[in-house]
Amino acid sequence: MHIAILTFEGYNELDSLIALGVLNRVQADDWRVTVATPTERVTSMNGVTIGQMSSLTEALAADAVIVGSGIATREVVETPAIMDVLSGLDPQRQLIGAQCSGALVLARLGLLRDVPACTDLTTKPWVVAAGVDVLNQPFFARGNVATAGGCLSSPYLAAWLIARLRGEEEARAGLHYVAPVGEKDEYVDRAWHAIAPYLASHLQVSV
pLDDT tens by residue, 124-167: 999 999 999 999 999 999 999 999 999 999 999 999 999 999 99
150 falls within a domain: yes
Residue 207 clears pLDDT 60, i.e. is over it: no
pLDDT at 136: 97
What rounded mean pLDDT belongs to the chain?
95
Strand (E) positions, the chain?
2-6, 32-37, 41-43, 49-51, 54-55, 64-67, 95-99, 139-142, 145-148
**Is 207 inside any structural domain?**
no
Q: Please, what sign has the CA dihedral across residues 58, 177, 204, 19?
A: negative
Q: Identify the CATH number of the domain in which residue 168 sits.
A: 3.40.50.880
Is the predicted pLDDT of residue 205 greater than 90, yes or no? no
Domain-located, residue 44: yes
Domain count, the chain: 1
Residue in 2, 4, 19, 47 with CA at minimum distance from that of residue 158: 19
Residue 206 lies inside a defined structural domain of this protein:
no
Q: Which domain covers residue 115, as residue numbers?
A: 2-198
On whether residue 203 sits in a domain, the answer given is no
Over range 36-63, report the average pLDDT: 97
> Does 205 map to a domain?
no
Q: Order of strands across the sheet with 95-99? A: 54-55, 32-37, 2-6, 64-67, 95-99, 145-148, 139-142
